[in-house]
């Protein structure tokens, strides 16, 4: 029998004792055992903090992002190895695709997110705050990686995705992780971790694995650590109340199973495209992963006049679901993860049966293809009908974590919102509707009790990722029963592993700390035009004071003819009564364009192109006779990696364009970006 190992303190380690026996969910065969007995969790956590964390914190966001990209490509090349083992968890190829390639996709997504962060080990957050009258004392915020370890306690249903979607975030932030998958499917997590360690892409200490029990690990958490838990709400709340977490104020992110809802809008008729979309999506959500998804639909709500056509169409579609061995062609639903799960789901079905009628499914008489249903962890899809969901309310509190859902009627959108809320907090609810007023009412009304709300109709169906698919750049979590946490969410997720700290000081000092020019900081006046300098030669604070230009009425009229912008404030002095203007005013875009004429150095040089405009404000009217000049300052430098061997080495330079008039007041402020070549070699 195979022994599933732990990865601790830089080595693969077998736990002591016999450990927990692991079974193939399809065949029922005992094929492995897992144990973590003998592991020293305190030493593992210190190892992560001191070895892995120290190395990660020295890397910049861009370096960490490229590390994730390399890891994603590495795992993608070896995905078939994971598929070969995934079927033993009861998953079909389609189920495994969500788990395996969905997890790898998260690595790709967070790798790309590096471009939203500076090429620094830390992040500068938000805008500068002026704290004094003259501007010599300002404030800002920086976010630095926590000097602890992320402890991920994961559920059994997604042994790959659950790990990769979490470590993608903490690794980009610069924090190491200890992963504790559910033991029942830990063998799939282990093989992925083996490949990760073998790749040597991550710094040693960045990732450790506990394949058996992690009981007692929370006794050693410190204030810089982060704990995440995915699983049952009962277990999550128990862990969240651990005295050590409270004592050390350790962030705890809970993502729990919830009673997610799918709603058919009042506008949808049987002949509507949305009707077919609804039936397909509901059926898929019941049967994908054999219903073992934290986002799976548990409550299906339809207008009361649509109960009969929906029940007929949905039961007909469920009846076509072939259950069995995922390795057999044509099988669309595999098994649950274990016999324990079958027992638990059957108990919950019995509870639900006390209040509502089963209109599809038979727990005893169902066909299994290519396997022995008495040995594997198989179960039939089950659909209930609840004719009085406000009084027969077990469906709003009892969750069978399998292919089980309840169909129920509603009369108004306001009423269905209240039904959704009876679930006490969900990860996701969806509505299928082609009426945007109905969709708006539902989304706004139900959002307070949902972490995500999806609207599905004919316009987005082709590319929709579906009710049950959390996306890397959107938050995954939900209020109340769903745990009150947030995972992923793009930058929001990364911030979970960073310490945001307010910093105060002079503009010059904060410029040095943030590596971004802060308005009012000392400037280095250049004798050589900055467009003559290569990327490496430019310094934040390098400034060009340009020549000046006096604005004329002819400038305004010529720009109006050229641009076609003949807004009254520029062209008609008789229309200015009741406005803020005292005369015909120059176009803001003329001021910006003329500023470019003042700061641009025309001959060919290191500047390759104008990359764009980040922000622009016109802060003071400019009238004919005003004289303008530009303070042109290097604000920030963003390195760019080469896309190929033939690519030109370059970076992006952000410039502060401060246009001022003869009084010294700023009249326009903008940030422009240029692509600047690096020195050859």
Residue 104: CB atoms within 10 A of its CB come to 24
Return the closest-CA partner of residue 296 out of 544, 484, 470, 106.
470
Helix (H), strand (E) at residue 404: strand 404-410
Return the closest-CA partner of residue 47 out of 265, 197, 192, 208.
208
Residue 646: CB atoms within 10 A of its CB come to 6
Structure tokens at 547: 């020549």
The strand pair at 650-660 and 627-639 is best described as antiparallel
Which of 255, 281, 441, 486 does the annotation list as catalytic?
255
Side-chain-side CA neighbours of 379 within 13 Å: the count stands at: 30
Give 3-state DSSP helix, strand, coil % of the chain, rounded to 5. Answer: 35, 25, 40
Q: Is 536 a catalytic residue?
A: no
Which of 143, 186, 294, 395 does the annotation list as catalytic?
294
Residues with Cβ within 8 Å of 268's Cβ and at least 6 positions away in sequence, in order, are 274, 275, 278, 303, 306, 432, 433, 434
Q: C-alpha angle 323/324/325, rounded to 5°?
A: 150
Is residue 24 within 8 A of residue 371, CB to CB? The reply is no
Alpha-carbon distance values, 584 to 205, 215, 562, 621, 665 (Å): 66, 75, 17, 10, 19
Residues with Cβ within 8 Å of 402's Cβ and at least 6 positions away in sequence, in order, are 290, 291, 292, 336, 341, 342, 345, 379, 382
Measured between alpha carbons, how far is 248 from 226 in angstroms, rounded to an integer? 11
Q: State whether the Cα torsion 410-412-416-418 is positive or negative.
A: negative
Return the residue matching tokens 């994908």: 288
Q: Is 347 a catalytic residue?
A: no
Residue 199: CB atoms within 10 A of its CB come to 14
Please list the active-site residues.
Answer: 255, 294
């Amino acid at each position: 029998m195979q022994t599933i190992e732990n990865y601790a303190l830089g080595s693969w380690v077998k736990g002591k004792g016999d450990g927990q026996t692991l079974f193939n969910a399809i065949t029922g065969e005992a094929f492995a055992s897992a144990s973590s007995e003998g592991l020293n969790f305190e030493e593992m956590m210190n190892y992560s903090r001191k070895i892995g964390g120290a190395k990660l914190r020295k890397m910049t966001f861009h370096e960490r992002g490229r590390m994730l990209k390399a890891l994603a490509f590495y795992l993608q090349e070896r995905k078939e190895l994971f598929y070969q083992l995934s079927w033993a968890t009861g998953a079909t190829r389609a189920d495994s695709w969500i788990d395996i390639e969905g997890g790898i996709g998260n690595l790709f997504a967070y790798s790309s997110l590096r471009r939203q962060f500076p090429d620094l080990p830390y992040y500068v957050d938000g805008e500068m705050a002026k704290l004094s009258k003259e501007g010599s004392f300002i404030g800002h915020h920086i976010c630095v990686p926590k000097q602890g370890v992320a402890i991920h306690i994961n559920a059994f249903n997604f042994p790959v995705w659950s790990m990769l979607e979490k470590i993608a975030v903490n690794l980009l932030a610069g924090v190491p992780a200890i992963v504790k998958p559910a033991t029942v499917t830990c063998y799939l997590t282990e093989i992925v971790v083996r490949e990760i360690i073998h790749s040597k892409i991550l710094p040693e200490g960045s990732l450790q694995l506990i394949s058996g029990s992690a009981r007692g690990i929370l006794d050693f958490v410190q204030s810089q650590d982060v704990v995440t838990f995915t699983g049952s709400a009962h277990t999550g709340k128990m862990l969240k109340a651990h005295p050590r977490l409270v004592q050390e104020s350790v962030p705890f992110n809970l993502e729990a199973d919830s009673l997610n809802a799918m709603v058919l809008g009042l506008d949808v008729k049987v002949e509507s495209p949305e009707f077919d979309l609804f039936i397909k999506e509901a059926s898929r959500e019941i049967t994908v992963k054999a219903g073992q998804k934290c986002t799976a639909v548990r409550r299906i709500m339809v207008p009361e006049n649509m109960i009969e056509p929906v029940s007929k169409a949905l039961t007909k579609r469920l009846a076509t679901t072939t259950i069995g061995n995922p390795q057999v062609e044509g099988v669309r639903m595999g098994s649950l993860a274990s016999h324990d799960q079958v027992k638990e789901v059957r108990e919950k079905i019995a509870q639900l049966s006390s209040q509502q009628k089963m209109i599809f499914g038979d727990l005893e008489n169902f066909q299994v293809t290519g396997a022995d249903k008495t040995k594997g962890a198989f179960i039939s899809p089950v659909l209930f009908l609840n004719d009085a969901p406000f009084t027969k309310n077990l469906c709003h509190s009892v969750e069978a974590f399998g292919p089980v859902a309840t169909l129920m009627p509603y009369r108004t959108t306001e009423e269905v919102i209240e039904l959704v809320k009876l679930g006490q907090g969900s990860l996701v609810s969806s509505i299928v509707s082609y009426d945007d007023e109905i969709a708006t009412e539902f989304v706004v009304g139900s959002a307070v009790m949902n972490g995500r709300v999806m609207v599905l109709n004919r316009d987005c169906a082709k590319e929709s990722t579906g009710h049950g698919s959390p996306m890397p750049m959107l938050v995954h979590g939900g209020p109340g029963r769903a745990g009150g946490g947030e995972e992923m969410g793009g930058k929001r997720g990364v911030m979970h592993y960073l310490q945001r700290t307010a910093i105060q000081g002079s503009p010059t000092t904060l410029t040095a700390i943030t590596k971004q020019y802060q308005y009012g900081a000392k400037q280095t006046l250049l004798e050589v035009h900055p467009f003559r300098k290569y990327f490496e030669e430019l310094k934040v604070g390098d400034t060009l004071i340009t020549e000046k230009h006096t604005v004329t009425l002819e400038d305004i009229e010529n720009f109006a003819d050229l641009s076609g912008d003949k807004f009254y404030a520029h062209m008609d002095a008789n229309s200015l009564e009741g406005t803020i203007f005292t005369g015909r005013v120059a176009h803001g875009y003329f001021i910006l364009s003329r500023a470019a004429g003042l700061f641009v150095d025309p001959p060919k040089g290191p500047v390759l192109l104008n990359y764009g405009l980040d922000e622009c404000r016109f802060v003071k009217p400019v009238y004919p006779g005003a004289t303008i000049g530009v303070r042109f300052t290097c604000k920030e430098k963003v390195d760019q990696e080469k896309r190929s061997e033939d690519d030109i080495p370059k970076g992006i330079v952000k410039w502060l364009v401060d246009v001022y008039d003869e009084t010294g007041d700023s009249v326009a402020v903008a940030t422009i970006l240029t692509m600047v070549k690096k020195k050859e070699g």
